[in-house]
Amino acid sequence: MSWPLVLTPGFRGVPSPLLPPAYRPMVSSPGPCPGSGPSSPPRPATPLSGGSPVPPPLPTRPSSRPKLPPGKPMGDLARPFSPQSPAAPSLRPLARAESSSSITLLSAASTPTLGRELNISTTGCSRGPSPLTMGAQDTLPVAAAFTETINAYFKGADPSNRQSDPHQNKCNKCVVKITGEMVLSFPAGITRHFASHPSAPVLTFSISNYCRLEQVLPNPHLLCCDTTMSNVDTKEFWVNMPNLMSHLRRVADQKPQATYYNVDMIKYQVAAEGIQSTPLNLAVSWRGDTTSTDLRIDYKYNMEAMAAAPSPLHNIHFLVPVDGGVAKLQAMIPTATWNPEQQNILWKISSLSQRSENGGVGALLGRFQLTEGPSKPSQLAVQFTSEGSTLSGCDIQLMGPGYRLSLVKKRFAAGKYLADN
């Protein structure tokens, strides 16, 4: 920084004799200024005009703001970090859907899934409007979940004809039962909205592929439908809103910390057609004598059982007890886990689909050395899950204004999935 006075050569470095001792150092060594390093030389003293007994005024502290050019109005000065600065980020009030209170209203970003213990997903989801600012023109987020359980029992197969497809084996018996439920999930903030809007529109929805369902049991306290129409592909239901509001208030009182409320709407049974309705076909055979026994399990992924869209099976477990005093596990293909205490063998397959090896067709083999043979054939138990599809192929559509479908989850899993020799 340059000083406003120009020093002449004759006065350079000469301190004023009229300055008081306490004042002289302040003038001669004003201290470092911004931008000066430790190696900067000391600044010279300010000279006094000859014969002037009054010391010059102290140099003013450099301003952190730029000086105005002469004649430039104050309004044209762009201050750094000012909201009016063109370089500063624009500050605008948050829209309703972006307000902090909107995060507390559960929608697809935090809407649960799959029955009573629902997982929260944040991928590809949307947020609902704030319950505190929700107006008459806003739509309320509603999530739906279809959860189905398949129970199957396979018995009898011809072990001489199991080249690649246990579906074509001579299966003497295959009993299948598929049950399911449809649950609607509401955000906790909806109770406040209903309290301020008691005349909320009626929630109406339709279930597609309804003809695949048997023994449909709608929630008698909450759902209404046209019982005169049967054997239709799409069925329409509407909700008893006063009962729904009362139910949600009771749940809110019982669980004040809950962020969502699950409400069972429909329980049903799916029409099954034997082994063709099972997503995993099974065939089991035992062979052995007093010293050893052989176990073979054939399986096949059956994409035709999933009416809507085939989805992979995950976490497939094959568990078989083996008696007869197993002394040694001679072979197992693929690798399995033998539990000597419980005398059972467990195979695990992480995933199975039509893209798996051989289109999802394979076999499990085990050979056991016995001390108390022969081994008695035991029952095979299988577990698996599948996400993103159902065996019924049902789907839901909202009808009418006031609501939007924020998320739909579909899932099915094995219940009692058994096979005998």
Q: Is the pLDDT of residue 108 over 60?
A: no
**Band (269; pLDDT cuts 50, 70, 90):** very high
Q: Greater confidence, 375 or 232? A: 375
Specify the long-range contacts of residues 49-58, CB closer than 8 Å, at least 24 apart.
Answer: 53/18, 55/16, 55/18, 55/19, 55/23, 55/27, 56/5, 58/26, 58/27
Task: Place 227 in a pLDDT band, splitting at 50, 70 and 90.
Answer: confident
pLDDT > 70: percent of the chain:
63
pLDDT tens-digit series, residues 140-173? 899 999 999 999 999 976 433 444 444 444 455 8
pLDDT at 5 over 80: no
CATH class for the domain made up of 282-385: mainly beta
* Beta bridge mates, 207: 235, 396
How sure is the predictor about 345, in pLDDT bands with cuts at 50, 70 and 90?
A: very high
Q: Which of 26-40, 104-118, 287-301, 349-363 has the lowest mean pLDDT?
A: 104-118
Question: Would residue 156 be called left, alpha or beta, if left means φ above 0 and alpha means ψ between -120 and 50 degrees?
Answer: left
Parallel, antiparallel, or unpaired for β 403-420 and 140-155?
Answer: parallel
Check residue 193 and give its pLDDT: 85
Q: Tell me the pLDDT band of 262, cut-offs 50, 70 and 90.
A: very high
pLDDT for position 373: 83
Query: What pLDDT shows up at residue 408?
Result: 96
Domain boundaries, the chain: 106-273+391-420, 282-385
pLDDT at 55: 55
pLDDT at 15: 47
Look up residue 66 and give its two tokens.
Answer: 């730029």
Q: How far apart are CA 126 and CA 141, in angstroms?
A: 10
User: Does 134 score more than 70 pLDDT?
Assistant: no
Q: What is residue 294's predicted lDDT score, i.e. its pLDDT?
A: 95
Which SS3 state, helix, strand or coil, does residue 252 take?
helix
Order of strands, edge to edge, in the sheet holding 361-370?
A: 280-288, 292-301, 361-370, 326-333
Can you list the alpha helix ranges (DSSP code H) found in 224-326?
Answer: 241-254
More confident residue, 411 or 161: 411
| Side chain identity, residue 206 | S
Q: How far apart are alpha carbons 301 and 303 in whole angstroms? A: 6
**Helix/strand/coil for 201:** coil
pLDDT confidence band for 137 (50 / 70 / 90): low
Across the range 175-186, mean pLDDT stands at 96
Q: What is the mean pLDDT of the chain?
A: 75
Which helix (H) or strand (E) element contains residue 192?
helix 190-196
Mean predicted confidence (pLDDT) in 278-290? 94
- The pLDDT value recorded for residue 110 is 37
